[in-house]
Amino acid sequence: MKQVIFKIKENTPIAKNTYKMVLLGDTSGVTNCGQFVNIALEGLYLRRPISVCDYEDGTLTLVYKVVGEGTELMAKLVAGKELDILVGLGNGYDTKKSGDKPLLLGGGVGVPPLFALCKKLIGEGKKPTVILGFNTSDEVFYKEEFEALGATVLVATADGSVGTKGFVTDAMKELDTYTYFYTCGPMPMLKAIYAATNTSGQFSFEERMGCGFGACMGCSCKTNFGNKRVCKDGPVFEKEEILW
């Protein structure tokens, strides 16, 4: 974990209620894809945890959906503004277990952390397939970005306005075999994926957090291997660990 002051380069809407924030600053504290950052916002007492969408030397990209007080404030921030951010929080995804053809399943605001993961997998010479799930067409984002990385991308929308009509698990049925899976998204989707997958995989969870670095026990969960903290021992857990 590292405390870093970042400067906002851009903060723009890319889909319905969804924003992309590009930040400039020291990203050396981000050590893995699937980690999150914790952002101090003026007027709020607690920091807000947001997953890392992409990180390169000196540039941090966050994609977030406006869902409450914190993200409403974030959406109003303009370029040039400085933010106090704790980076390098959480474990992130482990790509060692992926095999050649990993499957990435993202639902809505759960899509962003899969981007840095996808980039890493491709960098390792693997051939990921990505399924992105949304409610409707105007919520769809990052399809082209994933394609530009070289991934095969399928989209599912609940209303059928783009891609397969239904959920990511419906789009999964159109696929050949996969060697492993990675996912992030709303709880009902994660549960459906747990049931629908026939390989091991990794799930990224979301929880309200106090500190974000393992001190307060605000985000604990029970697992098959004892009590864990979503912020410090997670947010990524392996399928075998999960107790619903």
Partner 1 sequence: MVNTKVNLLGIELDNPIIPASGTFGYGYEYAELYDINCLGSFSFKGTTLEPRFGNPTPRIAECASGMINSVGLQNPGVDAVIAHELPELKKHFHKPVMANVCGFSVEEYTEVCRRLDGEEQIGWFEVNVSCPNVHGGGLSFGTSPEAAASVVRSVKKVTTKPIIIKLSPNVTDIVTIAKACEDAGADGISLINTLLGMRIDLKTKRPVVANKMGGFSGPAVKPVAVRMVYQVYDAVKIPVVGMGGVSTAEDVIEMMLAGATAVEVGTANLPNPYASKEIIDALPAAMEKYKIKNLSDIIGGAH
Rg (C-alpha) for the chain, rounded Å, is 17
Residue 227 makes contact with partner 1 by CB under 8 A: yes
Q: How far, in Å, are 41, 44, 109, 171, 205 from residue 189 at the CA level?
A: 30, 30, 12, 13, 11
Q: Residue 177 and residue 174: Cα distance in Å, rounded?
A: 10
Residue 219 makes contact with partner 1 by CB under 8 A: yes
160 or 210: CB nearest partner 1: 210
Residue 187 makes contact with partner 1 by CB under 8 A: no
Residue 42 makes contact with partner 1 by CB under 8 A: no
33 or 209: CB nearest partner 1: 209
Please say whether the dihedral angle defined by the alpha carbons of residues 167, 230, 212 and 2, taken in this order, is positive or negative. negative
69 or 240: CB nearest partner 1: 69
Residue 40 makes contact with partner 1 by CB under 8 A: yes
Residue 136 makes contact with partner 1 by CB under 8 A: no
**Whether the Cβ atoms of residue 169 and residue 203 lie closer than 8 Å to each other:** no
When binding is defined by CB under 8 A, the residue of 69, 100, 124, 159 that contacts partner 1 is 69
When binding is defined by CB under 8 A, the residue of 30, 154, 172, 211 that contacts partner 1 is 211
Residue 214 makes contact with partner 1 by CB under 8 A: yes
When binding is defined by CB under 8 A, the residue of 15, 21, 52, 86 that contacts partner 1 is 86
69 or 100: CB nearest partner 1: 69
Smallest distance, partner 1 to C-beta of residue 45, A: 6
Residue 232 makes contact with partner 1 by CB under 8 A: yes
Interface with partner 1 (CB under 8 A): 1, 3, 40, 44-47, 69-70, 86, 207-211, 213-222, 227, 232
